[in-house]
Amino acid sequence: MDFKQSKRRQVFEFLSDFQGQFGYPPTVREIASAVGLASPASVQAHLKSLERDGLIERDPNKPRALKLNHPTEARFSSELNNEFPGSVSIPILGRVAAGTGVLAFEDQEGELMLSRETIGQGDHFALKVRGDSMVEMGIFENDWVVARVQKIAQVGEIVICGIFGDEATVKVLSKLGKVVELMPANKNYQPIRANHEDVSIFGKVVALIRSFA
């Protein structure tokens, strides 16, 4: 498997995450929106490339019929190391764009330098933790959480999300459907429940950074 094109990697990962969550593949427009491609034609080009390399299989008679063929773990890890040597700059964001469902990357408050071996593939951002709602999972105020940019997540994962257009919050995704439930890791706090359309997932937490200075 050749994953030298990071955008093609993002398409494949979004396909995998979306199908794992919903049981069916996303539309071309959903893929374009999720990975930042400007046109459906660009998505189709990446899909054809993935299909040519045997990573996906499509039925020409059924537009949304798609099968993913995941690479072996050993080969996948090797390709990650080849593609992402060294360190990468992760933006520290002060807020999210209220009500838009997108991250305000222009509102950076600094950056963290982390190795790709630590955070893995994809685009990432960091937020400074405020409050104590996640202390029982070892996430404390003034820690930095590093999240991979993605708009979907699995139940049980720690996510960064916006609710009712408010600023970002760090919680465990405990229920997904028409009603989304976000669970704090502190017995003094109650779960947050909201309609699906009122919740925007911005990313999945993949790392925690703490300073002892």
Say which CATH topology domain 86-209 has: Umud Fragment, subunit A (2.10.109)
Q: Is 186 left (phi over 0), alpha (psi -120 to 50) or beta?
A: beta
Rounded Cα gap, residues 154 and 139, in angstroms: 20
Question: The tokens of 88 are what?
Answer: 């990468």
pLDDT in tens, 134-175: 999 999 988 889 999 888 888 999 999 888 766 678 999 999
Place of tokens 């009500």: 99
Q: Where are the domains of the chain?
A: 6-78, 86-209
What amino acid positions are annotated as catalytic residues?
Answer: 133, 171
Rounded Cα gap, residues 47 and 135, in angstroms: 42
Is the pLDDT reported for residue 5 higher than 60?
no
C-beta separation of 145 from 93 below 8 A:
no
C-beta separation of 6 from 13 below 8 A:
no
Domain 6-78, second-level architecture: Orthogonal Bundle (1.10)
pLDDT in tens, 69-104: 755 443 444 444 444 456 777 888 865 444 445 555
H-state helical runs in the chain: 6-22, 28-35, 40-52, 73-83, 116-119
In Å, the largest CA–CA distance within the chain is 60
More confident position, 162 or 59? 162
Domains 6-78 and 86-209 share a fold: no
**Can you tell me the mean pLDDT for 27-41?**
83
pTM for this entry: 0.58
